[in-house]
Amino acid sequence: MRGQVNCKLIGGPQGDLELTLSTIACKERISLMGDVWVAQGLNGGVLIMKGSIPPSAPWLTYIRDIYEKVKLDKPGLITYQFVCTEEVNRCEKILEGKDRRCRNEAVQDERFCKTHIKNI
């Protein structure tokens, strides 16, 4: 397990989950996507989906759980405590010539991503 560490999540929707992550991925805060997301349906409708989001999916929003590092229990084991759940929305910019929305996350509490918010 060189370069990897075991992480234990406490509390929240993902509580009691144990993960093995690369050491470089063990930041002060980590986030895990929930298993339900909303996709654009036909004729302006929406679909509630379950599972991970495929790369080319027409997703609109999903929920992610935020965990914060609280302690190093013993070498190779890090504990993360649940902090909050946040809603992630897709950037609303319609890309010219592609007839689809930008695939980036919108800045929190905004309609556009970091790239497209500059061009408003």
Whose structure tokens read 């370069």?
3
User: For a pLDDT cut of 90, what percent of the chain falls above it?
Assistant: 61
Number of domains in the chain: 2
Mean pLDDT, the chain cut into blocks of 10 residues (120 residues total):
84 89 87 93 91 92 94 79 95 90 92 85
Name 74's Cβ contacts closer than 8 Å, sequence gap at least 6. Answer: none
Same domain, 77 and 45: yes
According to the model, what pLDDT value does residue 86 have? Answer: 94
Are 29 and 71 contained in the same domain?
Answer: yes
Whole-model pTM: value is: 0.81
Assess whether 26 and 85 both reside in one domain: yes
Q: CA-CA distance, 62 to 75, in Å (whole number)?
A: 34
One domain, residues 20 and 65: yes
According to the model, what pLDDT value does residue 51 have?
Answer: 93
Do residues 41 and 79 share a domain?
A: yes
Range of the domain at 100: 90-120
Q: Is there a single domain that holds both residue 95 and residue 80?
A: no
One domain, residues 40 and 77: yes
